[in-house]
Amino acid sequence: MDLVYLHGFASGPQGAKGSHCRDWAAARGIPFHAPDLNLPDFEHLTITAQVAAVTALVRALPEPPVVVGSSMGGLVAAAAAHQGLPMARLILLAPAFGFARRRLSGRRWAGYRRRGSMPAFHHAEGRWLTLGPDLLPDLPLWQDDAQWQLAVPVAILHGRQDEAVPLAESEAFAARHPEAVLSVVDDDHALLAPNSLRVLDQLLEEAFAAAR
């Protein structure tokens, strides 16, 4: 069984959490996949393109994988699962539920809605890039995530000090999915504190043990 890691917004597959999951899988001989979700590229980014790429990747695997989605990658993973993509287990790290709703109405992205573009520091590139207008008309297609239903077993890890994605989003998801497991840690959005990584390792161990 494979492990798939999906990175977040303005990031890449070589980030700290992606590398942590890669090392975890390598130590256990587990095939690992971490696609670049800056699709078709960061300037022309859309959630639709990301979901399509993840769907194609997972359907090409020999069996449903364990999927780890971080932030926007968690939203993409949940969207694919809602659409029926088979997964053995889903681990969401500070999943960006409400991403589309907040970008369509929140003050922080008001300038983007007016201009159709905005600068964003891209952590994988290590430089400022421009997010273009393609994401804007794509967002309404994904703003109903509060209505999504996921049949796959889900575990969520979220930090109490997260200032990027409100903890309340994960709490609301867990309330709608009573079978989901929500682990709250004393950490920020990055979830790179030693205890957070230990919890992630435990969730990975449990996911593969349960899926065998």
Domain ranges of the chain: 3-211
Cα distances from 166 to residues 38, 160, 172, 181, 195, in angstroms, run: 23, 9, 10, 17, 20
**Is 139 within 8 Å of 47 (Cβ atoms)?**
yes
Supply 126's token pair: 């290590």
Q: So what's the pLDDT on residue 101?
A: 94
133 or 211: which carries more pLDDT confidence?
Answer: 133
Q: So what's the pLDDT on residue 108?
A: 85
Q: What is the mean pLDDT of residues 165-191?
A: 96
Residue 174's Cα: distance from chain center in Å? 16
**What CATH number is given for 3-211 in this structure?**
3.40.50.1820
What is the percent of the chain where pLDDT is above 70? 100
Cα distances from 163 to residues 20, 158, 188, 191, in angstroms, run: 22, 11, 7, 12
Q: So what's the pLDDT on residue 106?
A: 83
Q: So what's the pLDDT on residue 14?
A: 93
Mean pLDDT of the chain: 96
Q: So what's the pLDDT on residue 107?
A: 87
Residue 15 has pLDDT above 90, yes or no: yes
**Is 9 within 8 Å of 71 (Cβ atoms)?**
yes
pLDDT tens readout for residues 103-154: 999 888 999 999 999 999 999 999 999 999 999 999 999 999 999 999 999 9
Residue 91 has pLDDT above 80, yes or no: yes
Rounded to two decimals, the pTM is 0.97
pLDDT tens readout for residues 28-70: 999 999 999 999 999 999 999 999 999 999 999 999 999 999 9
Q: So what's the pLDDT on residue 147?
A: 94
Name the band, by pLDDT with cuts 50, 70 and 90, for residue 210: confident
